[in-house]
Protein backbone atom coordinates (compact mmCIF):
# COMPACT_ATOMS: atom_id res chain seq x y z
CA UNK A 1 0.00 0.00 0.00
CA UNK A 2 1.28 3.45 -0.91
CA UNK A 3 2.21 6.02 1.71
CA UNK A 4 -0.05 9.08 1.83
CA UNK A 5 2.81 11.23 0.52
CA UNK A 6 6.08 9.99 -0.96
CA UNK A 7 8.89 12.41 -1.64
CA UNK A 8 11.59 10.91 -3.84
CA UNK A 9 15.05 12.36 -4.52
CA UNK A 10 13.73 15.90 -4.33
CA UNK A 11 16.31 18.63 -4.92
CA UNK A 12 15.23 22.18 -4.18
CA UNK A 13 17.02 25.09 -5.81
CA UNK A 14 16.64 28.76 -6.65
CA UNK A 15 18.47 29.05 -9.96
CA UNK A 16 21.96 27.64 -9.42
CA UNK A 17 21.70 27.81 -5.64
CA UNK A 18 20.81 24.42 -4.17
CA UNK A 19 18.72 24.71 -1.01
CA UNK A 20 18.31 21.01 -0.20
CA UNK A 21 19.33 17.96 -2.18
CA UNK A 22 18.11 14.38 -2.59
CA UNK A 23 15.30 14.51 -0.04
CA UNK A 24 13.52 11.16 0.26
CA UNK A 25 10.87 10.45 2.87
CA UNK A 26 7.32 9.15 3.30
CA UNK A 27 4.38 10.60 5.16
CA UNK A 28 1.95 7.93 6.31
CA UNK A 29 -1.80 8.44 6.39
CA UNK A 30 -3.01 10.32 9.51
CA UNK A 31 0.54 11.30 10.45
CA UNK A 32 1.12 14.72 11.93
CA UNK A 33 4.37 15.16 10.09
CA UNK A 34 6.71 18.03 10.92
CA UNK A 35 9.41 19.50 8.73
CA UNK A 36 11.93 21.07 11.08
CA UNK A 37 15.35 22.66 10.91
CA UNK A 38 17.16 25.90 11.57
CA UNK A 39 16.26 29.21 9.96
CA UNK A 40 17.00 29.33 6.25
CA UNK A 41 17.42 25.57 5.81
CA UNK A 42 14.59 25.36 3.24
CA UNK A 43 11.61 24.12 5.27
CA UNK A 44 9.10 26.45 3.63
CA UNK A 45 10.74 25.90 0.24
CA UNK A 46 10.23 22.14 0.65
CA UNK A 47 6.56 22.72 1.47
CA UNK A 48 6.15 25.04 -1.53
CA UNK A 49 7.73 22.37 -3.76
CA UNK A 50 5.43 19.71 -2.31
CA UNK A 51 2.47 21.98 -3.05
CA UNK A 52 3.64 22.66 -6.58
CA UNK A 53 4.06 26.40 -5.95
CA UNK A 54 7.73 26.00 -6.93
CA UNK A 55 9.06 23.49 -9.41
CA UNK A 56 11.71 21.18 -7.94
CA UNK A 57 15.11 21.09 -9.64
CA UNK A 58 14.87 17.30 -9.55
CA UNK A 59 12.74 14.56 -8.04
CA UNK A 60 9.05 13.81 -7.57
CA UNK A 61 6.25 14.06 -5.03
CA UNK A 62 3.56 11.37 -4.97
CA UNK A 63 0.15 11.70 -3.33
CA UNK A 64 -1.50 8.30 -2.70
CA UNK A 65 0.76 6.85 -5.38
CA UNK A 66 0.03 9.52 -8.01
CA UNK A 67 2.95 11.62 -9.22
CA UNK A 68 1.95 15.24 -8.59
CA UNK A 69 5.10 16.78 -10.07
CA UNK A 70 4.51 15.18 -13.47
CA UNK A 71 0.71 15.46 -13.46
CA UNK A 72 -1.13 17.66 -15.97
CA UNK A 73 -2.59 20.96 -14.66
CA UNK A 74 -6.08 19.40 -14.72
CA UNK A 75 -4.91 16.39 -12.71
CA UNK A 76 -3.05 18.66 -10.28
CA UNK A 77 -6.19 20.71 -9.80
CA UNK A 78 -8.16 17.55 -9.04
CA UNK A 79 -5.55 16.42 -6.52
CA UNK A 80 -5.55 19.85 -4.86
CA UNK A 81 -9.25 19.45 -4.09
CA UNK A 82 -8.13 17.11 -1.31
CA UNK A 83 -5.82 19.68 0.20
CA UNK A 84 -6.17 22.41 2.77
CA UNK A 85 -3.29 24.83 3.10
CA UNK A 86 -2.58 27.62 5.54
CA UNK A 87 0.31 29.95 4.89
CA UNK A 88 2.60 31.77 7.30
CA UNK A 89 0.53 34.94 7.38
CA UNK A 90 -2.84 33.31 6.92
CA UNK A 91 -3.11 34.47 3.29
CA UNK A 92 -6.78 35.33 3.55
CA UNK A 93 -7.81 37.46 0.59
CA UNK A 94 -7.78 40.94 2.06
CA UNK A 95 -10.52 42.38 -0.16
CA UNK A 96 -13.01 39.72 0.99
CA UNK A 97 -14.86 39.18 4.25
CA UNK A 98 -14.33 35.95 6.18
CA UNK A 99 -17.56 34.61 4.71
CA UNK A 100 -16.40 35.35 1.17
CA UNK A 101 -12.98 33.84 1.87
CA UNK A 102 -14.49 30.66 3.25
CA UNK A 103 -17.11 30.53 0.53
CA UNK A 104 -14.52 30.40 -2.24
CA UNK A 105 -13.69 26.65 -2.05
CA UNK A 106 -17.39 25.81 -1.71
CA UNK A 107 -18.29 27.87 -4.77
CA UNK A 108 -15.52 26.20 -6.73
CA UNK A 109 -15.93 22.60 -5.79
CA UNK A 110 -19.49 22.05 -4.53
CA UNK A 111 -23.05 22.55 -5.71
CA UNK A 112 -24.19 24.01 -2.40
CA UNK A 113 -26.93 26.60 -2.44
CA UNK A 114 -26.11 30.00 -0.86
CA UNK A 115 -28.04 28.95 2.26
CA UNK A 116 -26.09 25.69 2.55
CA UNK A 117 -22.85 27.56 2.05
CA UNK A 118 -23.71 30.05 4.79
CA UNK A 119 -24.54 27.17 7.14
CA UNK A 120 -21.27 25.41 6.40
CA UNK A 121 -19.27 28.62 6.86
CA UNK A 122 -20.90 29.23 10.24
CA UNK A 123 -20.04 25.69 11.28
CA UNK A 124 -16.38 25.98 10.29
CA UNK A 125 -16.02 29.38 11.91
CA UNK A 126 -17.54 27.94 15.09
CA UNK A 127 -15.05 25.06 14.99
CA UNK A 128 -12.15 27.52 15.08
CA UNK A 129 -13.82 29.77 17.66
CA UNK A 130 -14.74 32.59 15.29
CA UNK A 131 -18.52 32.36 15.27
CA UNK A 132 -20.01 35.78 14.65
CA UNK A 133 -17.05 37.09 12.67
CA UNK A 134 -18.59 36.23 9.28
CA UNK A 135 -18.75 39.80 7.99
CA UNK A 136 -15.32 40.91 9.24
CA UNK A 137 -12.46 41.66 6.87
CA UNK A 138 -9.06 40.03 7.60
CA UNK A 139 -7.61 43.45 8.51
CA UNK A 140 -10.26 43.86 11.22
CA UNK A 141 -9.23 40.80 13.26
CA UNK A 142 -6.05 39.89 15.17
CA UNK A 143 -3.15 37.82 13.84
CA UNK A 144 -4.20 34.74 15.81
CA UNK A 145 -7.77 35.05 14.60
CA UNK A 146 -6.54 35.38 11.01
CA UNK A 147 -4.63 32.12 11.42
CA UNK A 148 -7.71 30.40 12.76
CA UNK A 149 -9.82 31.83 9.93
CA UNK A 150 -7.23 30.52 7.47
CA UNK A 151 -7.52 27.13 9.18
CA UNK A 152 -11.29 27.31 8.76
CA UNK A 153 -10.87 28.00 5.04
CA UNK A 154 -8.39 25.12 4.80
CA UNK A 155 -10.87 22.64 6.28
CA UNK A 156 -13.91 23.82 4.29
CA UNK A 157 -13.85 20.73 2.08
CA UNK A 158 -12.79 18.29 4.86
CA UNK A 159 -9.47 17.71 3.10
CA UNK A 160 -7.46 14.51 3.13
CA UNK A 161 -4.24 16.49 3.47
CA UNK A 162 -3.61 19.55 5.59
CA UNK A 163 -0.49 21.66 5.13
CA UNK A 164 0.66 24.33 7.55
CA UNK A 165 3.54 26.77 7.14
CA UNK A 166 4.63 28.04 10.56
CA UNK A 167 1.08 27.98 11.95
CA UNK A 168 2.00 29.39 15.36
CA UNK A 169 4.63 31.92 14.28
CA UNK A 170 4.02 35.28 15.90
CA UNK A 171 1.44 34.00 18.37
CA UNK A 172 1.68 34.20 22.15
CA UNK A 173 2.31 30.85 23.93
CA UNK A 174 -1.31 30.36 24.96
CA UNK A 175 -2.75 31.10 21.50
CA UNK A 176 -0.03 28.97 19.98
CA UNK A 177 -0.88 26.03 22.25
CA UNK A 178 -4.59 26.40 21.51
CA UNK A 179 -3.94 26.48 17.78
CA UNK A 180 -1.82 23.32 18.04
CA UNK A 181 -4.58 21.56 19.94
CA UNK A 182 -7.13 22.76 17.41
CA UNK A 183 -5.07 21.47 14.50
CA UNK A 184 -4.54 18.10 16.19
CA UNK A 185 -8.22 17.74 17.10
CA UNK A 186 -9.50 18.75 13.66
CA UNK A 187 -6.99 16.57 11.82
CA UNK A 188 -7.80 13.61 14.05
CA UNK A 189 -11.53 14.01 13.72
CA UNK A 190 -11.40 14.44 9.93
CA UNK A 191 -8.80 11.67 9.49
CA UNK A 192 -6.47 14.07 7.68
CA UNK A 193 -2.77 13.71 7.12
CA UNK A 194 -0.97 16.80 8.37
CA UNK A 195 2.30 18.21 7.06
CA UNK A 196 3.58 21.13 9.08
CA UNK A 197 6.61 23.37 8.81
CA UNK A 198 7.69 24.68 12.17
CA UNK A 199 10.61 25.18 14.48
CA UNK A 200 8.42 25.68 17.54
CA UNK A 201 9.53 22.85 19.82
CA UNK A 202 6.39 23.03 21.95
CA UNK A 203 4.27 22.43 18.84
CA UNK A 204 6.53 19.64 17.64
CA UNK A 205 6.39 17.72 20.92
CA UNK A 206 2.71 18.43 21.45
CA UNK A 207 1.26 17.15 18.20
CA UNK A 208 3.85 15.66 15.82
CA UNK A 209 3.91 11.93 15.28
CA UNK A 210 6.90 12.02 12.93
CA UNK A 211 9.44 14.63 11.91
CA UNK A 212 12.34 15.20 9.56
CA UNK A 213 15.29 17.48 10.21
CA UNK A 214 16.73 19.50 7.32
CA UNK A 215 20.32 20.56 7.85
CA UNK A 216 21.46 23.86 6.38
CA UNK A 217 25.12 22.93 6.53
CA UNK A 218 25.04 19.72 4.53
CA UNK A 219 21.83 20.78 2.72
CA UNK A 220 20.31 17.35 3.20
CA UNK A 221 17.74 15.53 5.29
CA UNK A 222 19.76 14.57 8.34
CA UNK A 223 17.35 12.44 10.33
CA UNK A 224 13.72 11.38 10.61
CA UNK A 225 11.55 9.69 13.21
CA UNK A 226 9.31 10.41 16.18
CA UNK A 227 10.33 13.73 17.79
CA UNK A 228 10.75 12.26 21.28
CA UNK A 229 12.94 9.48 19.92
CA UNK A 230 15.05 11.92 17.93
CA UNK A 231 15.45 14.14 20.98
CA UNK A 232 17.55 11.61 22.79
CA UNK A 233 18.27 8.97 20.19
CA UNK A 234 19.29 10.79 17.01
CA UNK A 235 22.68 9.81 15.68
CA UNK A 236 23.30 13.46 14.85
CA UNK A 237 24.36 15.90 17.57
CA UNK A 238 22.81 18.83 15.73
CA UNK A 239 19.37 17.16 15.75
CA UNK A 240 19.60 16.36 19.46
CA UNK A 241 20.83 19.89 20.10
CA UNK A 242 17.91 21.37 18.13
CA UNK A 243 15.33 19.30 19.99
CA UNK A 244 16.96 20.03 23.37
CA UNK A 245 16.83 23.81 22.83
CA UNK A 246 20.53 24.14 22.10
CA UNK A 247 21.76 21.96 24.96
CA UNK A 248 23.89 19.12 23.64
CA UNK A 249 22.21 15.86 24.62
CA UNK A 250 24.39 12.84 25.43
CA UNK A 251 25.42 10.76 22.43
CA UNK A 252 23.42 7.58 21.86
CA UNK A 253 26.12 6.13 19.59
CA UNK A 254 27.85 7.26 16.44
CA UNK A 255 27.95 11.02 15.97
CA UNK A 256 28.17 13.18 12.84
Partner 1 sequence: MPNDSVQFVDDGERVSLVLRGCWDRDTPTPDAKTILAGVADKKVVTVDTSGVENWDSTLVNVALGLRNLAEQRGLSLQENWPTGIDELLVLAEAVPPVAGDAGATNEARWGILASLDPISASRRVGEELAGLSQFVGALVVSGLKLPTATARVRFRDFLHFCYQTGPNALPIIILTSSLVGLILGYLGAVQLKQFGAEIYVADLVTVGILREMGPLMTAIILAGRTGAAYAAQLGTMRVNEEIDAIEILGVSPMEFLVLPRVAAIIVMTPLLTLFADVFGILGGGLVSSGLGVSPLQYWSEVQLVLHPSHLVIGMVKAVLFGALVGLAGCRAGLSSGRNSEGVGKATTQAVVVAMVYLIIADALVNVVCQLLDI
Identity of the residue, 104 or 226, whose beta carbon is nearer to partner 1 in the bound complex: 104
Interface pick for partner 1 out of 16, 111, 115, 254 (rule CB under 8 A): 16
Tell me if 256 contacts partner 1 by CB under 8 A: no
- Ramachandran area for residue 62 (φ above 0: left; ψ -120 to 50: alpha; else beta): beta
Tell me if 248 contacts partner 1 by CB under 8 A: no
Tell me if 23 contacts partner 1 by CB under 8 A: no
Contact pattern for partner 1 over residues 107 through 136, marking x by CB under 8 A: -xx---------------------------
Tell me if 15 contacts partner 1 by CB under 8 A: yes
Q: Which stretch binds partner 1 (CB under 8 A): 29-37, 88-96, 170-178, 183-191?
A: 88-96
DSSP secondary structure, 70-130, as one string:
TS-HHHHHHHHTTEEEE-TT----TTS-HHHHHHHHHHHH----HHHHHHHHHHHHHHTT-
- CA distance linking residue 191 with residue 185, whole number of Å: 10
| Neighbour tally for 64: CB within 10 Å | 17
- CA distance linking residue 186 with residue 18, whole number of Å: 36
Tell me if 217 contacts partner 1 by CB under 8 A: yes
Interface with partner 1 (CB under 8 A): 15-17, 38, 40, 48, 51, 53, 77, 80-81, 83, 85, 87-89, 91-95, 104-105, 108-109, 216-217
Amino acid sequence: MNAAIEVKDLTLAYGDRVIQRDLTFNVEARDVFVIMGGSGCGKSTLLRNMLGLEKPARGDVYYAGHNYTEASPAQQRKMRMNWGVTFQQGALISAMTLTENLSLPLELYTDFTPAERAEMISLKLSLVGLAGYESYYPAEISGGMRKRAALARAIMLDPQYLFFDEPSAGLDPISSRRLDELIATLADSMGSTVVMVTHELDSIFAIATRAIYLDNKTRTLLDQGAPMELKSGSQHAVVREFLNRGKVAPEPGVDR
